[in-house]
């Protein structure tokens, strides 16, 4: 069995449901789960229309040894990124699950995944991009040098001894130190991914241009439609777009971090319009202001938090 999962807090539930809707449309054979890095009572879930749509697994249900630290110290982004590997471990421990595929909640499927991604390889990553941007956009390269060659928003893990070793290695390094400090070489869980092709020989870097299309690789990818199917560079079907940095209130802007204006990239407009449409239908405006149970009053709200973490790291 292949299980596709995403991670969200309650206020990001419309994103997660929109993603799972699109994944199930393209892959009805997948089992799916929304992993909630938040806390809701069973009664609250039962009364929540969106949460009744797909299986929900809450962070506390994992009974992970890191639970206390991450819920007491991390902001919502850190909580989501540090827990990816914990949820993956939980699912792969189940006899009936052969492999897991993870996608960040701010993605939307427009086509199926390539068959080799589904059926081959034990570990699959996608690079941020695989060809150089023009020199006037070298900022893209500098950002990737800081944030990592591979995007942590999508991966596949297939049950194996190598994947067990990978999970153990990654968990030891990223869960309790999921901080963002470029000067000390930290960018959440993502920079560690640079080592994966070196340490784990069966890992595969998938360079299909229809995967993980986002603001960071638009210099090498253009969008078009052919007989109602979105294509990348006119040749490759678009599997999914990653709307990182996109703003619901300014839906035609590609990302707050991109160098491309809407006028420069009208080819992306249909994707942006579709994303706004599905989020609106899944009650974005109702959910987005909801607070996170763990992070509303934890240590991440205190300015001294990162100083404490730095002191902890310096002692190591």
Instruction: State the CB neighbour count (10 A cutoff) for residue 96.
Output: 8
What is the per-residue pLDDT for 260?
95
State the Cα–Cα distance between residues 100 and 92, nearest whole angstrom.
7
What is the per-residue pLDDT for 304?
46
The pair of structure tokens assigned to 302 is: 């205190």
Q: Which residues of the chain have pLDDT under 50?
A: 303-305
Which residues neighbour 66 within 8 Å (Cβ) at sequence distance 6 or greater? 82, 86, 175, 176
Q: What is the pTM of this model?
A: 0.94
H or E segment at 76? Answer: helix 76-92
For residue 122, give the nearest of 204, 4, 1, 199 by alpha carbon: 204
Residues 160, 122: contact at Cβ < 8 Å?
Answer: yes
The pair of structure tokens assigned to 51 is: 């949460």
pLDDT digit string, tens, across residues 31-41: 999 999 999 99
What is the per-residue pLDDT for 307?
52
CA atoms within 13 A on the CB side of 112: 11
Instruction: Scan for tokens 């789960």, then name that residue.
Output: 33
Residues 14, 53: contact at Cβ < 8 Å?
Answer: no
């Amino acid at each position: 069995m292949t299980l596709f999962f995403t991670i969200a807090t309650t206020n990001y539930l419309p994103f997660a449901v929109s993603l799972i809707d699109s994944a199930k449309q393209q892959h009805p054979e997948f089992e799916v789960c929304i992993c909630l890095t938040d806390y809701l009572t069973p009664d609250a879930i039962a009364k929540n229309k969106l949460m009744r749509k797909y299986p929900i697994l809450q962070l506390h249900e994992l009974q992970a040894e890191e639970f206390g630290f991450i819920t007491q110290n991390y902001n919502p982004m850190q909580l989501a990124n540090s827990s990816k590997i914990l949820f993956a471990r939980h699912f792969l421990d189940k006899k009936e699950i052969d492999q897991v595929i993870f996608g960040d909640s701010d993605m939307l499927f427009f086509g199926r995944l390539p068959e080799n991604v589904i059926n081959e390889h034990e570990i699959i990553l996608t690079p941020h991009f695989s060809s150089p941007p023009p020199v006037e956009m070298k900022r893209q390269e500098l950002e990737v040098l800081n944030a990592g060659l591979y995007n942590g928003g999508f991966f596949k893990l297939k049950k194996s001894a190598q994947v067990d070793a990978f999970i153990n290695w990654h968990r030891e390094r990223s869960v309790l130190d999921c901080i963002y400090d470029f000067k000390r070489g930290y960018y959440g869980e993502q920079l560690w991914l640079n080592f994966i092709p070196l340490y784990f020989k069966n890992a595969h870097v998938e360079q299909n241009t229809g995967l993980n299309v986002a603001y960071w690789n638009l210099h090498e990818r253009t969008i078009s439609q052919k007989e109602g199917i979105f294509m990348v560079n006119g040749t490759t079907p678009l599997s999914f777009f990653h709307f990182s940095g996109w703003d619901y209130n300014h839906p035609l802007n590609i990302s707050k971090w991109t160098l491309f204006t809407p006028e420069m990239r009208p080819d992306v407009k249909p994707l942006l319009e579709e994303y706004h449409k599905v989020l609106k239908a899944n009650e974005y405006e109702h959910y987005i202001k909801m607070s996170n149970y763990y992070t509303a009053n934890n240590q991440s709200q205190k300015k001294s938090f990162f100083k404490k973490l730095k002191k902890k790291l310096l002692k190591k």
